[in-house]
Amino acid sequence: EDQVTQSPEALRLQEGESSSLNCSYTVSGLRGLFWYRQDPGKGPEFLFTLYSAGEEKEKERLKATLTKKESFLHITAPKPEDSATYLCAVQDFGNEKLTFGTGTRLTIIP
Amino acid sequence: NAGVTQTPKFQVLKTGQSMTLQCAQDMNHEYMSWYRQDPGMGLRLIHYSVGAGITDQGEVPNGYNVSRSTTEDFPLRLLSAAPSQTSVYFCASSYGGPGQPQHFGDGTRLSIL
């Protein structure tokens, strides 16, 4: 069974203080790993898809990387508007569903 | 362009009542799905559909029914509400399946007393 574990559960950073969020996964065959952002009271919003180890994707202050066992979401010089819960999900080959982690709640303090 | 629209936004039910959560998308997406989100559990797939007339069960389908008579609409029915179904429900759609970017609605917050 696919498993996704995200750490830490919560992270508080000062504005401008860079850090990384972790997503560890277990699948029989990775078809894709996905990062979503979720603001309070809203549905998740798609950020990135990663398909193979070594792949990297960037968007503004966010960079996602992938290894065979985990993915990192690096946030560089964050701003208060980056505060949100970040969700990681995986899709296994031959599986028409996503398995989500429980998320990391990120708070950026001005 | 409305995207994915869920109604109602909030609902309180009594145990044993039935209701339908509505989901509509205007992007002509073939793939639609329903998730529930509970504290500490992450998003869990309830049912999904790969096109009109085709539905399948996800991870936690018990107590829920779905149908897909049109591409646009994918309602979720609670047959006899139970307190364990208190949750936030999200509908999502995408062009080509779960491996494509999912467009989520803003959720329905459901409380079962």
> Is B108 strand, coil or helix?
strand
SS (H, E, C) A14-61: ECCCCEEEEEEEECCCEEEEEEEEECCCCCCEEEEEECCCCCEEEECC
Read off the pLDDT band of A76 (50, 70, 90).
Answer: very high
pLDDT tens per residue, range A43-52: 999 999 999 9
- Sheet containing B64-66: which strands, arranged edge to edge? B4-7, B19-25, B76-78, B64-66
pLDDT at residue A1 in the model: 83
Q: Quick check: B102 and A49 CB within 8 A?
A: no
Residue with structure tokens 């296994």?
A92
CA dist A42 and A94 (Å) reads: 30
Amino acid B40: pLDDT: 85
Q: Residue B45 and residue A97: Cβ atoms within 8 Å?
A: yes
Q: Which residues contact A73 (CB under 8 A, 6 or more apart)?
A: A20, A21, A23, A35, A62, A63, A64, A86, A88
Residues 2-41 of A with CB under 8 A from B: 4, 31-32, 34, 36, 41
Position A95 scores a pLDDT of 81
Task: Using CB atoms, pick whichever of A31, A97, A102 lies closest to residue B40.
Answer: A102
Find how far residue A110's CA is from the centre of its chain.
23
**C-beta atoms surrounding B111 within 10 Å:** 13
Q: Tell me the two tokens of residue B77.
A: 């029915």
Interface test with A, best of B55, B102, B106 (most A CBs within 10 A): B102
Separation between Cα atoms, residue A25 and residue A42, nearest integer Å: 25
A83 touches chain B (CB under 8 A): no
DSSP string, B14-82: -TT--EEEEEEESS--SEEEEEEEETTTEEEEEEEEEETTEEEE-SS-TTEEE--SSSSB--EEESS--
A101 touches chain B (CB under 8 A): yes
A97: which chain B residues are within 8 Å (Cβ-Cβ)?
A: 33, 45, 48, 58-59, 98
Instruction: Spell out the per-residue pLDDT of chain B, length 113, in tens.
Output: 679 999 999 999 999 999 999 999 999 999 999 999 998 888 999 999 999 999 999 999 999 999 999 999 999 999 999 999 999 999 999 998 888 999 999 999 999 99
A-chain residue closest to B37, CA distance: A102
Distance CA A27, CA A95 (A): 11
Q: Tell whether A52 lies on the interface with B, counting CB pairs under 8 A.
A: no
